[in-house]
Structure 1
Amino acid sequence: MTRIADAVERFAPVFDEVGRDAVARELARRLPHDEVALLRRAGFTRVTVPEEFGGGGEPPSVLFALLAELGRRDPNLAQLLRSHFSFVDRTILSPDSEERSRRLALVAGGAIIGNATHERSSAKVGALSTTLTGSPDGLRLDGTKYYSTGTLFADLVSVAAQDDDGALVAALVPTAAAGVDVVDDWRGFGQRLTGSGTTVFRSVVVDEDAVARRVIGGPSHGGAFVQLVLLAAAAGIGRAIVDDAVAFVQKRTRTYSHASAATAREDPLVQETVGRLSALSFTADAALTAAVAGLDASVAAQSAGVSGDALRDVIAPVEAATARAQLVVLPAVLEAATLLFEVGGASAVDTDLALDRHWRNARTLASHNPLAFKARALGDLLLNDTPVPGWWSTGEA
């Protein structure tokens, strides 16, 4: 058995458990606090932490295979851990230090890390309204963040801010700290349970050793990593669409007077539709796997001490592959989410089935980074040898 297959088999029971009530959670909009706690207890949140720190020591290829399977059960759960696993990846690849060891030990002990990066402020692109300023009592954090995916379920949150010198920093802050307010106000029509709403920081005291200076522009696969988490969740949706189509058709007893067979499962037109759904899911899976392979290569290179231009040469293909995968995975899953309804009649739109959740969730994932920008970047790469952007920010023009 391969390493990936072994990991998938090991976590399948807990994934099945957290996915058991996924439709009911969707219909009631019940946040998956219990399910996140179960994933934590099962060791999933520390699966990539090095073994010497008490983690599973798995490479990115294993993590993303697991995220896709988790997304198959509930893509909200796969996405809400996006910043957590990105934080772990960055920490693993950072230079040896007491702070690195402490942070990895925290995650190995069960800590979950949330995100507070993006804003809905008047700050320009590349700047932030959130500030970390010195005071007689120490450092103080002030600001309002949105798209704080996963923070409702996190013990600590990594906050992007500007210090007194205008430099970008990242502060690791307990979500239970005085002055931190995590608000459940995410209003998206999909991925409703990711906790992607507002986090407010009002004069929050921050320890000096909890602050790291953010390095933008150096070789890093961090941008590709966070995009591939979204693609893993989308690929999981593609698999779930096939699962739901098969289950729906196999149970279906009603048919049409002009149908091609006595039952839906014997109807060649329905069979063709299910086959097409399977191929679309396969396409998404293949693109995801191809892109993730580059992350394994990047981690191996960095672990071996590769840096500078040599590392940039390793990471550049990862960025390009991730952009290509976005242009394959997301359209394939969105097409499947619509084609799904061709397997049945009006009963397929029953709200109790919530089959519409697949399109809403996939469309929400796809809207994070409009595909037109990715296609243009790839065209610029091929025509003008311009590297695909490895990191970006949002803000006022």
Structure 2
Amino acid sequence: MTRVTDAVARFTAVFDDVGRDAVARELDRRLPHAEVTALRDAGFTRVTVPEEFGGGGEPPSVLFALLAELGRRDPNLAQLLRSHFSFVDRTILAAPSAERNRRLEMLAGGAIVGNATHERSTAKVGSLSTTLTASPDGLRLDGTKFYSTGTLFADVVSVAAQDEDGALVAALVPTAASGVDVVDDWRGFGQRLTGSGTTVFRSVRVDERAVSRRVVGGPSHGGAFVQLVLLAAVAGIGRAIVDDAVAFVRNRTRTYSHASAATAREDPLVQETIGRLSGLSFAADSALTAAAAGVDGSVAAQRAGVDGDDLREIIAPIEAATARAQLVVLPSVLEAATLLFEVGGASAVDTGLALDRHWRNARTLASHNPVAFKARAIGDLLLNDSPVPGWWSTGEA
């Protein structure tokens, strides 16, 4: 754990700074542009970029540990960087090329990458309405995306589209390019500050070098990676629940005539509740750590040239471990977010404390990939040796 401990110590100051006004941002719905800039300036956005390109060179397991600590301060910040760190991971593992080098140098220079994958369109599952087509003056991108998490804060955005042959492609587009419109219209009751709204592309010119074909069905830990980012954010919420519960009880002066002690902090029933909250957070942390460890092995194997079925055998248990982690992290933290209110009376529901944000944020994160689907997949694995799905898409049935 020394590497994790050292990394957390290195970023604690900036995490504390960006988390200091988290409750005020929540209450005022103030987007964290300054906080994202502070994280960039501190080197956090390039923490996994290889050292030879000017990054921190940290493995995924360290990143997920850091994201949990960032989520402890503000889970919005942890989630909104999900597509950025996923893009870094994909770029690190891409075949050597001048374009790969260019992208890694761009990331080491501080560029932040956003997401434009999912749509609210008539496109069926597995297909997209967003198109990349040829024109007399080059490639043009057209389409509308939703759930564009992080794009409001990004310099470039990775856009999933279909080309004229119907192939799935990814186009890397500057968010300031002509024809790109990033809209702050995310209205979820939780994770309100992640910039997860609409992005519109109207005849946006795209450099051919910025287009790559999306590989579907090949062995990749990409699905597990993006899910582990969400689980890290939720585990961070679990830690914040314990922090807030302890702070609330220590400062509480009111009590009840029928209480079990003179003060809340001496009351064995309140102490029991704090202990249960700590145990639920510990379960979430442990599941996250266990699942995240496997991704390091996958990265090392791929950088050593392992591919095909050999790589698939390495990745399969990572997908299963990530699915199992969902079955622990999400219900543990959601339970803790409700149990939290047992430590105090009506004062605990004061809107100024915003303790309800923990449940709303955890519930929103948990809704991304429903737990029931993952539980069924694990059951199918154990009963019928069916691989846990490593990637998924959304669309009309």
Query: How far apart, CA to CA, are the structure 2 residues paired with 1:304 and 1:161?
Result: 31
- What is aligned with 1:333? 333
- What is aligned with 2:364? 364
Query: How far apart, CA to CA, are the structure 1 residues paired with 2:136 and 2:248?
Result: 64
Alignment partner of 2:27: what SS?
helix
Query: How far apart, CA to CA, are the structure 1 residues paired with 2:236 and 2:113?
Result: 22
Query: How far apart, CA to CA, are the structure 1 residues paired with 2:304 and 2:273?
Result: 48
Shift of 1:368: 0.3
Query: How far apart, CA to CA, are the structure 2 residues paired with 1:323 and 1:52?
Result: 34
Query: How far apart, CA to CA, are the structure 1 residues paired with 2:368 and 2:3?
Result: 31
- What is aligned with 1:82? 82
Shift of 1:170: 0.1
Amino acid at match of 2:355: L
- What is aligned with 1:278? 278
Query: How far apart, CA to CA, are the structure 2 residues paired with 1:247 and 1:20?
Result: 15
Alignment partner of 2:149: what SS?
coil
- What is aligned with 1:228? 228
CA deviations 1:163-199 (Å, max 9, x no partner) are 0000000000000000000000000000000000000
Alignment partner of 1:34: what SS?
helix
Amino acid at match of 1:240: A
Matched, 1:262 2:262: yes
- What is aligned with 1:344? 344
Query: How far apart, CA to CA, are the structure 1 residues paired with 2:371 and 2:2?
Result: 33
Shift of 1:137: 1.0
Query: How far apart, CA to CA, are the structure 1 residues paired with 2:199 and 2:146?
Result: 6
Alignment partner of 1:202: what SS?
strand
Matched, 1:153 2:153: yes
Amino acid at match of 1:278: S
Alignment partner of 1:215: what SS?
coil
Shift of 1:49: 0.2
- What is aligned with 1:135? 135
Shift of 1:98: 0.4
> Counterparts of 1:151-230 in structure 2 under 5 Å?
151-230=151-230
- What is aligned with 2:380? 380
Shift of 1:304: 1.1
- What is aligned with 1:95? 95
- What is aligned with 2:297? 297
Alignment partner of 1:139: what SS?
strand
Shift of 1:156: 0.1
- What is aligned with 2:40? 40
Amino acid at match of 1:232: A
Query: How far apart, CA to CA, are the structure 1 residues paired with 2:312 and 2:87?
Result: 20
Query: How far apart, CA to CA, are the structure 2 residues paired with 1:366 and 1:61?
Result: 21
Matched, 1:114 2:147: no
Alignment partner of 1:220: what SS?
coil
- What is aligned with 2:243? 243
TM-score (norm 2): 1.00
Query: How far apart, CA to CA, are the structure 2 residues paired with 1:197 and 1:272?
Result: 41
Amino acid at match of 1:193: L
- What is aligned with 2:70? 70
- What is aligned with 1:306? 306
Query: How far apart, CA to CA, are the structure 2 residues paired with 1:299 and 1:209?
Result: 25
Alignment partner of 2:196: what SS?
coil
Query: How far apart, CA to CA, are the structure 1 residues paired with 2:258 and 2:298?
Result: 56
Alignment partner of 1:187: what SS?
coil
Alignment partner of 2:166: what SS?
coil
Shift of 1:303: 1.2
Alignment partner of 2:199: what SS?
strand
Amino acid at match of 1:328: V
RMSD value, Cα? 0.5
Amino acid at match of 1:350: D
Gaps of 5+ in 2: none
Amino acid at match of 1:307: D
Amino acid at match of 1:62: V
Query: How far apart, CA to CA, are the structure 2 residues paired with 1:100 and 1:217?
Result: 22
Query: How far apart, CA to CA, are the structure 2 residues paired with 1:155 and 1:10?
Result: 25
CA deviations 1:37-58 (Å, max 9, x no partner) are 0000000000000000000000
Shift of 1:102: 0.3
Shift of 1:338: 0.1
> Identity of aligned pairs, percent?
87
Shift of 1:14: 0.2
Gaps of 5+ in 1: none
Amino acid at match of 1:37: T
CA deviations 1:227-254 (Å, max 9, x no partner) are 0000000000000000000000000000
Query: How far apart, CA to CA, are the structure 2 residues paired with 1:175 and 1:210?
Result: 13
- What is aligned with 1:53? 53
CA deviations 1:68-99 (Å, max 9, x no partner) are 00000000000000000000000000111000
Amino acid at match of 1:332: S
